[in-house]
Amino acid sequence: MKTLALLLALVALLAVLPFVGSDYALSFTIQLLMFTSLAYSWNIIGGYAGYTHFGQVAFFGLGAYVGALLVGAGWHWLAAAAAASLAAIALALALGSAMLRLKGSFFAIGMYGLARVGENFALGFDGITQGGTGLYLTPTDLTPIYAVLAAIALALIAFTHRLDNARFGLQLLAIREDETAAEALGVRTTRLKITAFMISAAAPGAVGALYASYLAFIDPATAFAPMTELTTIAMVLLGGLGTVLGPLVGAVVLSVVNELLWSRFPELYLGLVGIIILGAVLFMPRGIVNAFAKRRWRWVSAPRAGLRRLADAARPVPAASPARTPAE
Amino acid sequence: MSTLTLAAPRSTAPGLRDDILVVEGVSKRFGGRIALDAASLEVRRGSITGVIGPNGSGKSTLFNIVAGALPPDGGRVRINGRDTTRHGPAQVCREGVGRTFQISRLFSEMTVLENLVAIAHGKSDVEAVERARELLDFLEIAGLRDKWGSELSYGQRKLVEIARALMLEPTLMLLDEPFAGINPRLQNRIVEHLDALRRNGLTLFFIDHEMRIVLEVCDELYVLAEGRVIARGAPEAVRADPAVAEAYF
């Protein structure tokens, strides 16, 4: 219920913003929604399945180029974004079975390498991509792009809430905790990982295409920027890895802090952001949401609360009986 | 103790031995060291069968080969009449095999309920939750339902692992040292539960060092030494075997 109430409040806020906010507010919110979507997508494979990596920007960059090229060929930006999403899903499917054999730092670095391959292909195939010069698009009205980005972000929040309370989410967590044990207990780990990887690639592909339309330009350095990747990961870590609200909280906090520092300390802001992230990781290693959940703040839903409600609905849980409970 | 519904055991013709697990001449080497040397055994459906042996005798290797965690170099494994020699762990599991681990491998950042529900197959969430509750009741650990895996004691983890393996509704349960490191009171409780599971039609196959329990609970016992089966039979007969006494006792 708390997540539903939050979603409704967000929908209301996002619905009125284009009518009451300035162009600056609209532009800031577009970037916030973009990062929120990227953070939620990364959270599925990095947070829930535990396959942290530095290569999501490969799907974002691919989406940006597919979108820009299709818009350049006369497609509507929305259709181009849908095609970009499918392209990213196809890439994830093609790479998934090979890349997801890698574990831990090998997978993280392998995915970083994939992003660099994408950047170099975008530079190298200059007959198609215009290389370092980049592709220029006709500027379009930002409000519909904003609306689609808002819909994507909200859909991802709703999906994550469902994932958190579904067996699929539990099985991803089982993979994160102990993949060997999960497999020995019959969890189809390879299939689940590839599915999660494909889902986590879908939104970045679409968002990349929307970003190209928003900027009316894309070049390899923008499409495959390591800073986009690191910001996304920092948002998830700051908010809470593998939680429903963590990516949203992290995206809002980091975007606001970023914006405030950038406007006041343009030369120092990146360093200051780095210090803030370092402090947050040191003092709240499991993120803001988990830190508050631990203190039982009522606005934070307990993880997998839906499953617990289901069990409570069946029969109330009996109190633990010390006489019956082994206590080695 | 509450009753429990398990997968229905197969019936077989009277007088015929119905083996749920057959290991035929299985061998395994690690580099130059022979871990298993043409080991063979059969586990009768509905029995409690144990494997004992000194450290390094090949018990864990045998167990891991049966569970699909290790491929054998030679020989065959059949479960429920199907050749599972080259099956991976998830496939073996889907042949109706549940297992526990020597060192607890509960998912520590999940509650007990989530540990059980996560691995349920072919059930809706409501059915999975209901089954989990039934198992927790059966093992008398319903009070642990909402505890995190990381909050459980060693003994509680052993019981929850048994409940988790039962979520798979196995016909054969592999228990890797279920009595190791726990006090005699809890050992006795686990014995009672295993006996109740056997009466419900489940076949139990385990390895352990706890001789008191092994001799008490097993219908049939195998003794491994240096990768070979050196004795088999009823516990008392095995105990009286001079070869076993030399190798083990």
| Closest approach of A277 to chain B, Cα-based (Å) | 24
Q: Is the model's pLDDT at A314 over the cut of 50?
A: yes
In CATH terms, the fold of domain A2-306 is: ABC transporter involved in vitamin B12 uptake, BtuC (1.10.3470)
| φ/ψ (deg, to 5) at A230 | -65, -40
pLDDT digits (tens, 9 = 90+) for A109-134: 999 999 999 999 999 999 999 999 99
List chain A residues with CB under 8 Å of B182: 326, 328
Mean pLDDT confidence for A140-160:
94
Q: DSSP letter for B9, please.
A: P
Map residue B223 onto helix, strand or coil. Answer: strand
User: Given this model, what pLDDT does residue B12 score?
Assistant: 53
Phi-psi group of B153: left, alpha or beta (phi > 0 → left; psi -120 to 50 → alpha; rest → beta): beta
Name chain A contacts of B94, Cβ cutoff 8 Å. 186
Q: Can you tell me the distance from the alpha carbon of A145 to that of A153, in angstroms, rounded to the nearest whole number?
A: 12
pLDDT digits (tens, 9 = 90+) for A42-81: 999 999 999 999 999 999 999 999 999 999 999 999 999 9
CB A322 within 8 Å of CB B150:
no
**What average pLDDT values come out for chain B (249 residues) when binned by 10 residues?**
60 68 95 92 94 88 94 95 94 93 91 94 89 92 92 92 94 91 87 90 89 87 92 89 76
pLDDT exceeding 70 applies to what percent of chain A? Answer: 92
B-contacting residues in A 187-206 (Cβ below 8 Å): 187-189
**Segment (H or E) for B76:** strand B74-79
Does B165 lie at the interface with A, CB-CB under 8 angstroms?
Answer: yes
Length in residues, chain B: 249
**The dihedral formed by the CA atoms of A124, A129, A134 and A138, expressed in degrees to the nearest 10:** 180
Eight-class DSSP state of B111: B
Could you tell me the residue ranges of all domains in chain A?
Answer: 2-306
Of the pLDDT bands very low, low, confident and very high (cuts 50, 70, 90), residue A207 is very high
Nearest C-alpha neighbor of A239 from the set A292, A170, A201: A292
The pLDDT tens digits for B192-232 are: 999 999 998 899 999 988 778 888 889 999 999 889 999 99
Average pLDDT estimate for A170-187 = 94
- Residue A267: predicted pLDDT: 85
For A136, the token pair is 């220029």
pLDDT at site A61: 98
Q: B7 near B169, Cβ under 8 Å?
A: yes
How far is B64 from chain A, CA to nearest CA, in Å?
10
Rounded Cα distance, A68 and B186, in Å? 66
Question: Are the Cβ atoms of A307 and B129 closer than 8 angstroms?
Answer: yes
- The span from the CA of A187 to the CA of A273, in Å, is 40
* Between B46 and A20, residue with greater pLDDT: B46
The confidence band for A15, taking pLDDT boundaries of 50, 70 and 90, is: confident
Split at pLDDT 50, 70, 90, the class of A242 is very high
A208 touches A81 (CB < 8 A): no
Distance (Å, rounded) from C-alpha A191 to C-alpha A170?
14
Q: Which two tokens stand for residue A105?
A: 């730092």
Q: Is CATH 3.40.50.720 the classification given to domain B19-247? A: no
Domain ranges of chain B: 19-247
Instruction: Tell which of A167, A185, A191, A290 to mutate to test the B interface (max B CBs under 10 Å).
Output: A185
Complex prediction ipTM: 0.86
Cβ–Cβ contact B93 with A under 8 A: yes
Put simply, the answer to whether B118 touches A310 (Cβ < 8 Å) is: no
A10 or A79: which leads in pLDDT: A79
Which helix (H) or strand (E) is A136 found in, with range?
strand A135-136
Strands B228-233 and B220-225: antiparallel
Average pLDDT, chain A: 89
pLDDT of residue A220 exceeding 80, the answer is: yes
Q: By the CB < 8 Å criterion, does A182 face chain B? A: yes
Rounded to an integer, the average pLDDT of A258-285 is 86
Q: Residues 17 to 76 of B: which have CB under 8 A from any A CB?
A: 67-69
Distances (CA, A) of B22 to A160, B6, B18, B65, B199: 45, 22, 10, 12, 22
Q: How far is residue B111's CA from residue A179's CA, in Å, rounded to a whole number?
A: 17
Cβ–Cβ pairs < 8 A, chains A and B: 127
Please give the pLDDT value at position A322: 37
pLDDT on residue B214: 86
* Confidence at residue A325, expressed as pLDDT on a 0 to 100 scale: 38
